[in-house]
Amino acid sequence: MIQFPAKDNATANGYFLQAESPTKNWLFIYHEWWGLNQYIKQEADKFRKEFGNCNILAIDLYDGVVATDAKKAQELSSSMKSERAISIIEGAIAYAGGDAKIVSLGWCLGGGWSLQSAMLASGQANGCVVYYGMPESNEQKIVKFPCDILGIYGKYDKFITSEMIIDFESKLNASGIPHNFKFYNAEHAFANPSNPKHNVEATKDAYALTLEYLRTKFNEQ
């Protein structure tokens, strides 16, 4: 774990895996509503095995707090201050440096923040992966979205519904924002093995799709 200054001058935390050699490639990872737990760190470790030419930073949006039950996770996500989260992300972008090319990736709560992260990174955004995260609804923001998007969703998701994503996709199409969305016969958070609704086959396919996408990004630099 590392600490870095957030834009509000408070300290922020992250799980950092440094690239094998100097590089502009960065992958920002955003956690689910549980917080930056061991599962997210393990996912970061998996990406490290695939991409040695990339700095990986799993960003803690909860300032060190981790939930172990759904009630606590709900409390944390509902009480989360967007201003603080934005300050943390802006601090992470500054920590990466002005020449960094940043790909963002997140699941659930973090999926929505992956989108926000790309917009905050602006010209430094090099890609965005969203696993069943809250879509952006502001058309003025969508039209300025700075990179392409890989979206991974469950057809039977009761939280991030297919209707919400179809509406989001129509706005992306109208704005000419490149994207690739894939729907699986699965429910919300299907990629998390601790979820009773975990879908093994969908998870494998989505991970392969994610790796394919990331390879095109990190091999460009």
What does the alpha-carbon distance between residue 43 and residue 36 come to, in Å, rounded to a whole number? Answer: 11
**Paired tokens of 161:** 């519904």
Burial 126-160 (b: 16+ CB within 10 A, else e): bbbbbbbbbbbeeeeebeebbbbbbbbbbebbeeb
Please tell me the predicted confidence (pLDDT) of residue 9: 87
Sequential DSSP letters for 101-170: EEEEEEETHHHHHHHHHHHHHGGGEEEEEEES-PPP--HHHHTT--S-EEEEEETT-SSS-HHHHHHHHH
Enter the pTM of the model.
Answer: 0.95
Q: Tell me which residues of the chain have a pLDDT lower than 50.
A: 220-221
What does the alpha-carbon distance between residue 200 and residue 205 come to, in Å, rounded to a whole number? Answer: 9
* DSSP tag of 1: -
Element (H, E) at 70: helix 70-79
What is the sign of the dihedral through the CA atoms of 62, 163, 170 and 107? positive
Name all domains of the chain by residue range, CATH numbers in brackets: 2-218 (3.40.50.1820)
For the chain, first and last CA: distance in Å? 26
